[in-house]
Structure 1
Amino acid sequence: MGFSLLSQPIYFLLVQYSFNPPIMSHIEDFDHLKIQLKDIISATENFSPNKLIGHGGFGVVYKGELSLPEGRIMVAFKRLDRRLGQGNIEFWKEITMLSKYRHENLVPLMRFCIEGDERILVYEYASRGSLDRYLNDTSVTWSQRLKICVGAARALNFLHDPVETQQRVLHRDIKSSNILLDDKWTAKVSDFGLSKVGPANQPQTYLFSNVVGTPGYCDPLYFETGFLSKESDVYSFGVVLFEVMCGKLCYEYANGKITEILVPKWKRCYEEKRLDEIIFHGLKEEMETSSLDSFSAVAYQCLQKASEKRPTMAEIVKELEFALEQQEVFEDLGKKLDFEEMIRIAHLAVAPLSYRSQSQLYTLFLKGFLVGDGKTWISINKHGELIEMISSKKCVCEHGLQPYATKDSRFFNVLLCTINSNFKVNVSTQFLLPDIAYTMNLVFKHFGTDHGTYVPIKYRLDDERDYRNSCHAHVRKDGWLMMELYQFTSNCKEHNFRIEFVRPFRIASSFFMYILEGIEFCPLKL
Structure 2
Amino acid sequence: MSLIQELAHLKIPIEDIKLATNNFSDDNFIGEGGFGRVYKGQLGDSTSATTTVAVKRLDVKGGQGQQEFLMEIVMLSSYKHDNLVSLVGFCEEGEEKIIVYEHEVRGSLDNYLATDYLTWVQRLQICLGAARGLNYLHSGVGEGHRVLHRDIKSSNVLLDQNWEAKISDFGLSKIGPMNQDITFLVTKLAGTFGYVDPLYVATGVLTKESDVYSFGVVLFEVLCGRRAMIGKYDEEQRLLSHLVKHRYEEGKLDEIIFPNIRKQIKPNSLQTFSRIAYQCLNIDRKRRPTMAVIIEQLQISLELQIVSHCYRETGLSSMVIS
When normalised by structure 2's length, the TM-score is 0.94
Alignment of 1:41-56 (within 5 A): 41-56=18-33
How far does residue 138 in structure 1 lie from its aligned partner after superposition? Answer: 1.7
Residue 168 of structure 1 corresponds to which residue in structure 2?
146
Q: Which has the higher helix share?
A: 2
How far does residue 49 in structure 1 lie from its aligned partner after superposition? Answer: 1.0
Please point out which of 224, 228, 243 is paired with 2:202.
224
Residue 370 of structure 1 corresponds to which residue in structure 2?
none
- Stretches of structure 1 lacking an aligned partner (at least 5 in a row): 1-23, 343-361, 368-381, 383-526
How far does residue 288 in structure 1 lie from its aligned partner after superposition? Answer: 1.3
Alignment of 1:365-384 (within 5 A): 365-366=319-320
How far does residue 334 in structure 1 lie from its aligned partner after superposition? Answer: 4.0
Please point out which of 104, 107, 117 is paired with 2:95.
117
Alignment of 1:383-422 (within 5 A): none
The answer to whether the aligner puts 1:233 opposite 2:184 as a matched pair is no
C-alpha contact 1:245 1:280 (8 A) present in aligned 2: yes
Residue 85 of structure 2 corresponds to which residue in structure 1?
107
Residue 3 of structure 2 corresponds to which residue in structure 1?
26
Residue 139 of structure 1 corresponds to which residue in structure 2?
117
Please report the RMSD computed on the Cα atoms of aligned residues, expressed in angstroms: 2.2
Structure 1 or 2, whichever has the larger Rg, is 1
C-alpha contact 1:153 1:317 (8 A) present in aligned 2: yes
Residue 98 of structure 1 corresponds to which residue in structure 2?
76
* C-alpha distance 312-333 of structure 1, shift in aligned 2 (>3 A): same
C-alpha contact 1:178 1:191 (8 A) present in aligned 2: yes
C-alpha contact 2:217 2:240 (8 A) present in aligned 1: no
What is the alpha-carbon distance in structure 2 between the residues aligned to residue 179 and residue 100 of structure 1?
19
The answer to whether the aligner puts 1:73 opposite 2:51 as a matched pair is yes
Q: Which has the higher strand share?
A: 1
Overall identity of the aligned pairs, in %: 52
Residue 164 of structure 2 corresponds to which residue in structure 1?
186
- Which deviations, in whole Å up to 9, do the C-alpha atoms of 1:320-376 show, x marking residues without a partner? 1111111121233344x14xxx6xxxxxxxxxxxxxxxxxxx3x4135xxxxxxxxx
* C-alpha distance 185-86 of structure 1, shift in aligned 2 (>3 A): same
Considering Cα pairs closer than 8 Å and 6+ residues apart, tell me whether 1 or 2 has the greater RCO.
2
How far does residue 61 in structure 1 lie from its aligned partner after superposition? Answer: 0.5
Residue 298 of structure 2 corresponds to which residue in structure 1?
320
The answer to whether the aligner puts 1:60 opposite 2:14 as a matched pair is no
When normalised by structure 1's length, the TM-score is 0.58
- Which deviations, in whole Å up to 9, do the C-alpha atoms of 1:92-144 show, x marking residues without a partner? 10000110110000001111111100000000101010000000012310000
C-alpha contact 1:149 1:187 (8 A) present in aligned 2: yes
How far does residue 69 in structure 1 lie from its aligned partner after superposition? Answer: 6.0
C-alpha contact 2:176 2:184 (8 A) present in aligned 1: no
The answer to whether the aligner puts 1:199 opposite 2:177 as a matched pair is yes
How far does residue 166 in structure 1 lie from its aligned partner after superposition? Answer: 6.9
How far does residue 163 in structure 1 lie from its aligned partner after superposition? Answer: 4.7
C-alpha contact 2:60 2:97 (8 A) present in aligned 1: no
What is the alpha-carbon distance in structure 2 between the residues aligned to residue 213 and residue 164 of structure 1?
25
- Stretches of structure 2 lacking an aligned partner (at least 5 in a row): none
* C-alpha distance 204-159 of structure 1, shift in aligned 2 (>3 A): farther
C-alpha contact 1:199 1:205 (8 A) present in aligned 2: no
